[in-house]
Structure 1
Amino acid sequence: MRKRKILSEDALQNNPISTEEVAVTVADIRRELEAYADPVKREYLPRFFKTGKGQYGEGDKFLGVVVPNTRTLAKQYKDAPFDVMAELLQSQWHECRLCTLLMLVERFRKGDDKDRKLIYDFYLSQTDRINNWDLVDLSAPGIVGEYLKDKSREDLYRLADSGLLWEQRIAVVSTYTLIKNGDFADILALSERLLHHPHDLMRKAVGWMLREMGKRDKDLLVQFLEKHCKVMPRTMLRYAIEKFPEEERKEFMKR
């Protein structure tokens, strides 16, 4: 996929601040995150998010902060300039990146059309730093999905065709917002497009979104499964039929 250009400083913010002020604000946010750190979580989270050599989260580092505390801090700093957010997204610490993404979600929710466009473009310019499944899942529906509700979905398909796992997951998980609004066309198209994806995280994401669609239109999900269940990866199928009655689940898994 062709990467979007990083936005200019003028485009990213109306209230530019100095390099020194950026550094101070970034340090303040990190210090406040560290105050929430739990040593037990700090030891556990790297294993949970598969940060070992060759795993999908290889090299990621954790302070040990739980999401509710990160979200609290994000609400406090949601109006930080974009250059502060850009710097935070470069952090080695997972929670710094998550805090930034939650800041963007909160800011998007309260922004006008101009603000939302800036946030959307900034978000898609930073996808190489949205690099674990929770970072995607807690931000993509509230930014990409919300922005595209009444717009062309072309970006979803560019992301889906990317060679970057996290961009592909952004494409799929962003449809959660569309699904909740009764719009199923894109998750059906993306599911067919990514039906044979080799990575378990994508198989789970597609199955999850199909399940969400099925909660709202089971007949449509069954039609999709009747067409594809014999060749679907079993993980994807299990996720898609999780809410079906037990006997119906068993029947699909036999195929």
Structure 2
Amino acid sequence: MQHPLIKHLRSEMMARRDMVRAEPMAAYMKNIQPFLGIASPVREDIIKSARKVYAIESRDIYRDIIFELWNGEFREEKYMALEVAQRYKSYLNADSFDIYEKLVYDADWWDTLDWLAGKIVGPIVQKHRGFENNLILWRTAENLWTRRAALLTHLKHKKHTNIKLLSETIELLAPETDFFIRKVIGWVLREYSKTDPQWVINFVKSHEKTLSNLSKREALKVVERQKDEK
């Protein structure tokens, strides 16, 4: 029997779909999946209203709802799965890590993966360092997006960043030619440069031959901008 929260969310999404927006949204995401044309503010309004009415009675039900939405026909259902994962705070913790890890392994594009790794998995790993062992496994996964998650999970750790693990992961993935790996290497380094710019400068310099030009350019954006402002 389908949980009433799922029925409500799907009903609201269908009622508020915008097929004029749907086509360009799908095109922007390389037509990875059909879209309903629901803008982020509309989606957020739907989930906020739903939370006031529909409780999730257990972690097992939380898991089932997330997976049911994640496997839906439309891309916005995946987004709604992540909304549920993130907004039902009583289950957003280490005990749900196995749920999120399944999504990391199943991710098929940057839109869902970046949200999942940066906003859901990242804070949990920062609090529970034992999960760094999972990141070590992710970086050799067959799925490109899982490997991307091994880096992106560090994005907002700031002074709590595990520099050793981050360095090892970058060194392992730096030879890859895929744009999304090269881009995220630079992105994570750029973000960490806001905490320790000299470390990032030194890292880029010492890995001059192995980092791609894209990674180096992204990594030093903040550092170079600050230099120009002086």
* TM value normalised by structure 1: 0.76
Aligned to 1:6: none
Change in Cα spacing, 1:74 to 1:186, as seen in structure 2 (3 Å) is farther
Superposed counterparts of 1:181-200, under 5 Å: 181-200=160-179
SS at match of 1:157: helix
Aligned to 1:71: 44
Higher relative contact order (CA 8 A, sep 6+): 1
**1-structure distance, mates of 2:110, 2:10:** 21
Aligned length: 218
Q: Choose which of 33, 48, 66 in structure 1 pairs with 2:13.
A: 33
Post-superposition Cα deviations, 1:32-89, rounded to whole Å, max 9, x if no partner, equal: 12333333321111221122xxxxx3xx121111223223333444644332221111
Instruction: Determine which structure has the larger helix proportion and give its number.
Output: 2
Change in Cα spacing, 1:70 to 1:248, as seen in structure 2 (3 Å) is same
Alpha-carbon contact 2:139-2:169 (below 8 Å) kept? yes
The amino acid that maps onto 1:175 is H
5+ long unaligned stretches in structure 2: none
Q: Choose which of 155, 158, 167 in structure 1 pairs with 2:137.
A: 158
**2-structure distance, mates of 1:111, 1:131:** 27
Give the drift of 1:101: 1.0
Alpha-carbon contact 1:132-1:166 (below 8 Å) kept? yes
Change in Cα spacing, 1:64 to 1:117, as seen in structure 2 (3 Å) is same
Give the drift of 1:180: 5.9
The amino acid that maps onto 2:115 is L
Cα RMSD (Å): 2.5
**2-structure distance, mates of 1:40, 1:180:** 44
Change in Cα spacing, 1:43 to 1:126, as seen in structure 2 (3 Å) is same
5+ long unaligned stretches in structure 1: 1-18, 52-56, 250-255
Superposed counterparts of 1:61-210, under 5 Å: 61-77=34-50, 79-80=55-56, 81=61, 82-107=63-88, 110-111=89-90, 116-149=93-126, 150-152=128-130, 153-179=132-158, 181-210=160-189
**2-structure distance, mates of 1:229, 1:40:** 46
